[in-house]
Every structure is written in structure tokens, then in C-alpha cells.
Amino acid sequence: MSATTHTRRIKFLVALMALTLLPACIYAPKFSTTKLNGAAGRPKALVMPVDVMLFEISMGGLEEPKAAWTESARHNIEQSLDRALRDLNISTVNYAPPNRDAGKKDGRRDQLLKLLGVIGSSIYRHYYESVNHLPAKKEFAWSLGGATRILRDEYGADYALFIYMRDRFSSGGRVALGVVTSALFGYIPQAGQQEGLAYLVDLHSGDVVWFHFLKSGGFGDAREPAQARTAIDALLVEFPK
């Protein structure tokens, strides 16, 4: 086998690792409205801190958190999210961590934030983990009730937006391992997968009005600004206006 042919084969196998054995899970967004309401026709969204982590998969399959990658991705996602919401004519305000000395109101807010996180994970488990499916939940109807008005009154916002993302990248050693095992045994080790979740809560009623989950071999490498925008566009598909 010539060196050129060998190089081409390696490139082909690397591409195969990236594009195969990584089934994309495409889910339609869940929503209870397609229209947002706000003062003077322009809704205001409270953007909660982006929950993002990036990992590198070692040759042996262990996931190692990568702080520098994560910080870069967080910055790019925040910038992309801001632009995306502006394009939708939605004004934004960023959530600020509570002042621990502020007393009872912040304590109530802390509890509310926990509940907001719980409802997001509950929706995910119900729709995307069959063993946790709730038979009584025939329609998309999830709510926290009037407790969310704490954030509405504090920030003057109509909605709260939550973004969660996890992404994993194969190390050079794992890619090389895949080339070898594919050539010898026809087996390619599992490569990285990307997951994203976003949901929007009406702060007037407490209702979750929109929810979307993505999982695939990759819908946008958030370490790169342009691809972070691609990831956000994919995550915010069918976002209410």
C-alpha cells in the first residue's frame, strides 16, 4: 500500500468515526404557545446562567472535564444566545446570583431556582426516558404556579430562559485507537456526543411554555464562535415569538 493510499484510508476512517455510530436523536420541541407577550409587544426574557461543560474522552473512554474549553464555550454560547434573542425581538436581562445577606426574599428565590431546575429535569425524564414516563401527562402542561412572580417582579421580565449543554470530544489517542480497531476488527469505539436542553418559563403564570432537547454526534462545536451560533440556532428551533 502506498503512503498516499494509507493516508487517505486513515482520513476516511477518522471521518467515519465522526459520522457513523453516532445516531442523531432529533426531537420536536414541546410547547404550549407560539406567541410571547410583553410590554409594547416586546417580551423580556430573564436569561439564566448557561449550564455548559465540555469533556475530552481518553483512549480508555474516560471523560475528562476541560475547563478552558468550557469557559470558551460558555462565552460563545452567551454571545450567540444574546444575538439570537435580539433577532427574535426579545429584550433580555441576565440573572444575577442572590445576595446571601438579603434575607427571606433571597431564600425564597433560592428555593424557586431549585424548583425551576427540577421541573426541567422532570420534563426531560418524562419525555425522553421511557422508564420514567408519566402516563397521566397526556399533554404538554407543566407549571410552578405563582411562585415565579418573585423573579418577574425583581427583574421586570416576562419569561425565564434556561440553557443546558454537554459536549464530548475524542482525544487523539482515542481517534488513533478507532483507526486501528476499525482496520483490524471492523469496530469503532464510541466517539463523543453532544446534548442540549432549553426551556422557557412564563414568569407571570409559572407555566413552562416551550421545551427542546437535542442529542447527536454534534450540532455545533461551541468552542468556535460561528459554530456556537449554529448550536444555539439548532437548540432554539421553533422558539415562540
> In the predicted model, is pLDDT for residue 175 greater than 50?
yes
Per-residue pLDDT of 7-64, as tens digits, reads 444 444 444 444 444 445 667 899 889 999 998 789 999 999 999 999 998 877 789 9
Residues 164 and 48: their CA atoms lie apart, in Å, by 10
Cβ neighbourhood burial of 209 (10 Å; 0-12, 13-18, 19+): buried
User: Which pLDDT belongs to residue 27?
Assistant: 78
Beta pairing class for 51-57 and 44-47: unpaired
Q: Work out the pLDDT band at 172, boundaries 50, 70, 90.
A: low
Q: Work out the pLDDT band at 109, boundaries 50, 70, 90.
A: confident
Whether the CA torsion 213, 217, 222, 228 is positive or negative: it is negative
User: Which pLDDT belongs to residue 203?
Assistant: 97
Residue from 166, 163, 209, 171 nearest 189 by CA:
171
Q: What is the DSSP annotation of 40-86?
A: GG--EEEEPPPEEEEEEE-TTS-EEE-HHHHHHHHHHHHHHHHHHHH
Query: What percent of the chain stands above pLDDT 90?
Result: 51
> In the predicted model, is pLDDT for residue 158 greater than 70?
yes
- Structural domains of the chain, with CATH: 26-173+193-235 (3.40.50)
Q: Work out the pLDDT band at 193, boundaries 50, 70, 90.
A: confident
Grid coordinates representing 115? 424548583
pTM (two decimals): 0.81
> In the predicted model, is pLDDT for residue 78 greater than 60?
yes
Residue from 71, 208, 196 nearest 141 by CA:
208
Cβ neighbourhood burial of 75 (10 Å; 0-12, 13-18, 19+): middle
Query: What percent of the chain stands above pLDDT 70?
Result: 77
